[in-house]
Structure 1
């Protein structure tokens, strides 16, 4: 199935960097505050759109679905 994934936005995983926020699988976001780790949450920080990239499942998805032809049906 053709699928186009533009980008992640300007937020990215904070691997090797201090996290500014924590995000849960359900989308709940918390500010990092003084806690270096929040169980069940992934550390994120604003890294900019270019650095965040567009990889999904290890690759870029740049396919577009085919355009369906419309046929006029006489009434």
Structure 2
């Protein structure tokens, strides 16, 4: 396993990743609230941000699993 792959797997640990995604979403929510001054809009944007980050995390995990499966089957 390459150095990049080991670092990627270490960074993608589930509990740490969820904490990072939550912190980023909260900061994004605060910024959008200060920009729009509307709690409802900020909540919608923050929820969308959280869901997109979760989808990206899931897609990254699936991609890494696919690469590992591809590497082992060769």
Name the TM-score, length of structure 2 as normaliser: 0.26
In proportion to residue count, which structure has more strand? 1
In proportion to residue count, which structure has more helix? 2
Name the TM-score, length of structure 1 as normaliser: 0.26
Structure (1 or 2) with the larger CA radius of gyration: 1
Bigger RCO (CA 8 Å, 6+ sep): 1
